[in-house]
Chain A
């Protein structure tokens, strides 16, 4: 760069920054709007992971029409599950709660549930109770989860009753009496085996209420239980670092709003042309490249400023951390800001009028950010779409920010996003340079 051009370049950048800050209210909105939307999306997508509250639980209604110790035990088991928020209700209340979306599922334990369930545990020929699940059709995933949890807690409660409680003892006695006569569908050997099993269970039941060897009450509960414990662990940057939905949403919204700012850059150039200002700029002894570079750098600086303000907010308020490489994060941010600036120049070079340019480029940006996973993470896309969206630079930007924040990837993880973003910047810049209308 010739020395004479440097003051002109600095003047071009300074002027655009002055225009940006002259309207304090607009400037404030430039930062606040993406922060507000990113906060909302971040909350929806899991928040900061360390504060799982009621919002993370599945809301269900428990309708106990049986009112036995067994049905109460099942409901108590559901209530103790950390993934469920259980509220007792009548059938009408439960149905209304599901219909109005206040609950995902209502579990109906019918009258006679306790007896029938206990009997059915060992007798395949016994009539099983029918447990009703009233569910919201838009929460199919939750229905499957509740079905599984209900099975677990019912099995635990019914088998505990069979091996411990007086109801179980009565039920086992009755079943043993039934076995004294031939049972349809069962061979004699099978009946004998079942009889031994029930006799053993009855013995366990009676012993459970005898005092222990030292004379103290026997508190040990016998019955079927989960044959394993589950240890769910989030795989993130490193042990102890939790997933933070805000890291993704702030990256996504940053990408979106910086691209919107790039539209403003393109439109501003078209307006400058319309107002004759571009003539005055072109009349000065400043090269074309310098004029475009000045515009692009000013836009890139404003983009970086937006990222800085947004992530500072996310750091302070939501605990977002750059768990990966900080230089990598900065490199992705700079590359994206340059790409967005070049995108703005391309808009100016293709747009005929400011109004037309804004319309078509807004649509393009919305598509880019949607496909780039800025709204919802790209991992929920269908497989083919996950592959197809790799052609969008926004996808690389969002993935790059995710990698440098909550995924905790090192600097090497930033190389591909930075490369793609810089390549995109070069392509957009080349289109802008070739299509730009220089004649005034």
Chain B
């Protein structure tokens, strides 16, 4: 069994009686990216703050390398690298000066610090910009430097709080490449985001959080299995103005839990089996004298899972 690098058990935190985090548990193993997916205000940042010791939980425990952090100056904090949601850098200083400062806070100095800075800048692709003032850098470069600042002391665990907010797609991909490289090196990464595409692309396991609670947790495949239908079929129908769509739920490959709909000539049916269900629906339409004009299928995703679990869309929540 792989030793857990970070473990949180039943964390809770309230502000003025309003629960911000209510019973969150999670764990990180080496070489794993764990996603914390949820809308703004779901409690992701509060959870991260408790994990790295910035905020004491009302109840619950956080174990780093098997033991709790005791005090602000506990050396165990060296096992954690924090990438805040904000670009936590000094604009007035160069990239190099920023990294020297953050490295020194972790007790690094001399050749070890210079070597760590070189490696971090190399990883994020900013080795040739080390002397540039931060204020002259693009948003994407600042984000990458923000990541580099958390790597200097070679932490086993990286906590990344929405590290791609406001960056262009190219920089986002570059950051993803960096994170995947860190995973290959055996780091454990906790990645919070409200972009389901990011969680789907990056994360080995995902916890979906809403209103401070984990409402679902598992691999992407496990989460999609929570959906009543893994696929959705859309058919534009010609030659029919009304259809008895309730009959569709009895067909092979059609999901029984979701109600089919027919509006404005468009039929939408949830399928439990894509190929079998598609054949069944097309045969059913032909038998009723209707002709399929256009056909499209849509795979279930984390958005669907969130919608299924909460009744709200992730982006609207």
Q: Once the chains bind, are B92 and A19 in contact (CB under 8 Å)?
A: yes
- Checking A10, A279, A290 against B84 with a beta-carbon cut-off of 8 angstroms, the contacting residue is A279
CA distance A14 to B105 in the complex (A): 12
Question: Chain A: which residue is nearest B105 at the CB level?
Answer: A284
Q: Once the chains bind, are A277 and B105 in contact (CB under 8 Å)?
A: no
Interface size of B by CB at 8 A reads 37
Q: Once the chains bind, are B73 and A285 in contact (CB under 8 Å)?
A: yes
Judged by a CB distance under 8 angstroms, whether B36 is at the interface is no
Judged by a CB distance under 8 angstroms, whether B87 is at the interface is yes
CA distance A285 to B85 in the complex (A): 20
CA distance A290 to B72 in the complex (A): 10
CA distance A275 to B84 in the complex (A): 9
CA distance A158 to B88 in the complex (A): 85
The winner among B49, B149, B150 for most chain A CB atoms within 10 A is B49
With a CB–CB cut-off of 8 A, which chain A residues contact B100? 11
Q: Once the chains bind, are A440 and B73 in contact (CB under 8 Å)?
A: no
Q: Once the chains bind, are B72 and A287 in contact (CB under 8 Å)?
A: yes
Question: Chain B: which residue is nearest A276 at the CB level?
Answer: B86
Segment of A1-9, A140-148, A201-209, A356-364 engaged in the interface with chain B = A1-9
Judged by a CB distance under 8 angstroms, whether B29 is at the interface is no
Question: Chain B: which residue is nearest A11 at the CB level?
Answer: B104
Judged by a CB distance under 8 angstroms, whether B102 is at the interface is yes
With a CB–CB cut-off of 8 A, which chain A residues contact B150? 280
- Checking B72, B80, B86 against A288 with a beta-carbon cut-off of 8 angstroms, the contacting residue is B72
Segment of B51-59, B233-241, B293-301, B308-316 engaged in the interface with chain A = B51-59
Question: Chain A: which residue is nearest B108 at the CB level?
Answer: A7
Interface size of A by CB at 8 A reads 31
Q: Which of A278-298 contact B (CB under 8 A)?
A: 279-288, 290
The winner among A4, A12, A22, A287 for most chain B CB atoms within 10 A is A22
Q: Once the chains bind, are B49 and A440 in contact (CB under 8 Å)?
A: yes
CA distance A251 to B189 in the complex (A): 55
Judged by a CB distance under 8 angstroms, whether B107 is at the interface is yes
CA distance A10 to B72 in the complex (A): 18
CA distance A279 to B105 in the complex (A): 13
Question: Chain B: which residue is nearest A280 at the CB level?
Answer: B88
- Checking A7, A19, A279, A287 against B90 with a beta-carbon cut-off of 8 angstroms, the contacting residue is A19
With a CB–CB cut-off of 8 A, which chain A residues contact B77? 283-285
Q: Once the chains bind, are B88 and A275 in contact (CB under 8 Å)?
A: yes
Q: Once the chains bind, are A275 and B86 in contact (CB under 8 Å)?
A: yes
Judged by DSSP, the binding face of B is: loop
CA distance A284 to B85 in the complex (A): 16
Q: Once the chains bind, are A439 and B93 in contact (CB under 8 Å)?
A: no
CA distance A440 to B54 in the complex (A): 6
CA distance A231 to B46 in the complex (A): 77
Q: Once the chains bind, are B86 and A15 in contact (CB under 8 Å)?
A: no
Give the shortest distance, in Å, between A354 (CB) and chain B (any CB).
Answer: 14
With a CB–CB cut-off of 8 A, which chain B residues contact A15? 90, 93, 97, 101
Judged by a CB distance under 8 angstroms, whether B82 is at the interface is yes
- Checking B82, B85, B86, B87 against A283 with a beta-carbon cut-off of 8 angstroms, the contacting residue is B82
Judged by a CB distance under 8 angstroms, whether A92 is at the interface is no
With a CB–CB cut-off of 8 A, which chain B residues contact A274? 86
With a CB–CB cut-off of 8 A, which chain B residues contact A286? 72-73, 105
Q: Which of A16-34 contact B (CB under 8 A)?
A: 18-19, 22-23
Give the shortest distance, in Å, between B158 (CB) and chain A (any CB).
Answer: 11
Q: Once the chains bind, are B106 and A276 in contact (CB under 8 Å)?
A: no
Q: Which of B131-179 contact A (CB under 8 A)?
A: 133, 149-150
CA distance A12 to B105 in the complex (A): 8
CA distance A290 to B75 in the complex (A): 15
Given that A19-B93, A22-B92, A23-B92 are contacting pairs, would A280 and B73 also be in contact in the complex, using a CB cutoff of 8 Å? no
Q: Once the chains bind, are A277 and B80 in contact (CB under 8 Å)?
A: no
Q: Once the chains bind, are A8 and B104 in contact (CB under 8 Å)?
A: yes
CA distance A391 to B123 in the complex (A): 57
Q: Once the chains bind, are B87 and A276 in contact (CB under 8 Å)?
A: yes
Judged by a CB distance under 8 angstroms, whether B109 is at the interface is yes
Q: Once the chains bind, are B101 and A11 in contact (CB under 8 Å)?
A: yes
With a CB–CB cut-off of 8 A, which chain B residues contact A2? 73
CA distance A280 to B54 in the complex (A): 9
Q: Once the chains bind, are B54 and A279 in contact (CB under 8 Å)?
A: yes
As a 0/1 sequence over residues 222 to 258 of chain A, the CB contacts with chain B under 8 angstroms (1 = contact) are 0000000000000000000000000000000000000
Give the shortest distance, in Å, between B298 (CB) and chain A (any CB).
Answer: 38
Judged by a CB distance under 8 angstroms, whether B89 is at the interface is yes
As a 0/1 sequence over residues 362 to 396 of chain A, the CB contacts with chain B under 8 angstroms (1 = contact) are 00000000000000000000000000000000000
Give the shortest distance, in Å, between A22 (CB) and chain B (any CB).
Answer: 5
- Checking A14, A277, A283 against B52 with a beta-carbon cut-off of 8 angstroms, the contacting residue is A283
Judged by a CB distance under 8 angstroms, whether B183 is at the interface is no
Q: Once the chains bind, are B55 and A277 in contact (CB under 8 Å)?
A: no
CA distance A281 to B86 in the complex (A): 13
The winner among B73, B76, B84, B150 for most chain A CB atoms within 10 A is B73
Give the shortest distance, in Å, between B63 (CB) and chain A (any CB).
Answer: 17
Q: Once the chains bind, are B74 and A440 in contact (CB under 8 Å)?
A: no
Q: Once the chains bind, are A276 and B55 in contact (CB under 8 Å)?
A: no
CA distance A242 to B130 in the complex (A): 56
Q: Once the chains bind, are B53 and A283 in contact (CB under 8 Å)?
A: yes
CA distance A275 to B104 in the complex (A): 20
Judged by a CB distance under 8 angstroms, whether B266 is at the interface is no
Q: Once the chains bind, are B107 and A287 in contact (CB under 8 Å)?
A: no
Interchain Cβ contacts under 8 Å between A and B, 10 examples: A4-B73, A277-B86, A282-B72, A285-B72, A285-B76, A287-B71, A439-B54, A439-B55, A440-B49, A440-B54
- A-B complex: 10 closest residue pairs judged by Cβ atoms: A276-B86, A11-B104, A284-B105, A276-B84, A283-B82, A440-B54, A276-B88, A285-B77, A280-B88, A287-B73
A-B contact sample (18 more), CB < 8 A, given A283-B80, A439-B56: A2-B73, A4-B75, A7-B109, A15-B90, A18-B93, A19-B90, A19-B93, A275-B88, A277-B90, A279-B86, A279-B88, A280-B82, A281-B105, A283-B52, A285-B72, A286-B105, A439-B54, A440-B55
